[in-house]
Structure 1
């Protein structure tokens, strides 16, 4: 098997480079590797690897790197492996990859493969969750403003600061042609369950069911949303009366004023935005797949 490691040296606030410099000495099979130098380059490298005869491409970085590599390999039979080295490391929770890089390498060597769905937006694919509203603003703040923290603390700090100026706003959500009028803090569109460093925002999303899970967080007070959000880490928010779920293949979201949107934590512009599902679009290497049918 011809393997290429795509390493994002700045992922995880720079810890990725240290992880790679350690892990490369433990790789027991032939491989090539390349460092990314700019946002979006991992997708180009992965797409090029397909044409160069690689049968496996391993993303070494965080969810952003994984998403980019997934975009480059989408709709092919090239396998995607993962060595987690990012800030949130959310997708590995879905496919059973350990946080420890050496253990993740063992999964790469011994794990099995599975085809998963990908979410789609106007600029490409997403692997975890896209969203509009508060979560998109938090993602922007985490990436651009919170340089002194990493992991879950970075998301929490960004959330608290964002809550100061963001308020619920009127929205129109369309799911497979059915229209819903709501006043929302956020709308999350999940292919997988997790984002934001372990927040299970779309708790029942399955990455191989051919559907998107559309999760709406309706209007509530700031105090109440501060009570609501910690429950998202365990999935306990499912029972909250302001939480609402729909499922479908085509989703369109509009807000009364232009509102930030993200896909896997990266800004994709402002509303209105549309999303769809691409079934069985990516072949991934994992272990003990937890959010799959059966």
Structure 2
């Protein structure tokens, strides 16, 4: 869905994107990791993970929102919520989960504003959690995702954090920047402003958490993992 490119305000036209890269300045972007895998945009667990699974299995001929919506309606009638334990910077909660989305950028799925406040260079993950919903509730929620209005629902909670642990008693599907994987424990770490992108148009954050070289800290974290 080119969501990360949109977060960097890169034009969809390849030629225009090349011109922007050639003429643009270098910007610092957060680097994210879950377990031993790195990502830049989003990880979705639960309903979202199964939606991504169905997109990759049967809806690749569609693009962007069309593929996502087709997969959503397929998943509606097969998904079963599960009990998860979520730890966000020491805040621990357990609930029957519809989905958990941990993102570095505001949109996923081809433009759905799952975490509207997310910034790619603020040094924080943005987390959207949704408790179990019945099918009619999910259907009513879907139109709210595009503008980001779902955050006002009672069963939805928005959080920010740097260290996140998500656990379940049985394996689940999750998507990592569109790649579908399975696990039952996810440990998230963020490396603020550890990546350099030329041509990205991002607003500077008020706090520059990593003006220094971050590579030693990345290597240290990898050694401890």
Q: By the TM > 0.5 criterion, same fold?
A: yes
CA distance in 2, matches of 1:204, 1:165: 31
Q: What does residue 62 of structure 2 align with?
A: 149
Q: What does residue 211 of structure 1 align with?
A: 124
SS in 1 for 2:171: coil
Q: 2:146 aligns with which of 215, 233, 250?
A: 233
Is the radius of gyration larger for structure 1 or structure 2? 1
Output the aligned Cα RMSD.
Answer: 1.6
Give the deviation of 1:178 after TM superposition.
2.3
2:176 aligned with 1:267: no
| TM, length-normalised to structure 1 | 0.66
Deviations 1:240-268 (A, max 9, x none): 11110121111111124321122111123
SS in 2 for 1:135: helix
2:55 aligned with 1:111: no
Give the deviation of 1:278 after TM superposition.
1.1
2:79 aligned with 1:166: yes
2:221 aligned with 1:293: no
Give the deviation of 1:97 after TM superposition.
0.6
SS in 1 for 2:50: helix
2:92 aligned with 1:176: no
2:71 aligned with 1:125: no
CA distance in 1, matches of 2:198, 2:181: 27
Question: 8 Å contact 2:111–2:146 — kept in the other structure?
Answer: yes
**Aligned pairs, how many?**
206
Give the deviation of 1:287 after TM superposition.
4.5
2:9 aligned with 1:96: yes
5+ unaligned residues in a row in structure 1: which ranges? 1-87
CA distance in 1, matches of 2:201, 2:88: 31
CA distance in 2, matches of 1:164, 1:198: 24
CA distance in 2, matches of 1:123, 1:230: 35
Deviations 1:118-160 (A, max 9, x none): 1101232111111210111111111122133222101110111
2:199 aligned with 1:199: no
Question: 8 Å contact 1:261–1:269 — kept in the other structure?
Answer: yes
Give the deviation of 1:165 after TM superposition.
0.5
SS in 2 for 1:277: strand
Q: 1:222 aligns with which of 124, 130, 135?
A: 135
Q: What does residue 195 of structure 2 align with?
A: 282
CA distance in 2, matches of 1:157, 1:144: 12
CA distance in 1, matches of 2:64, 2:161: 31
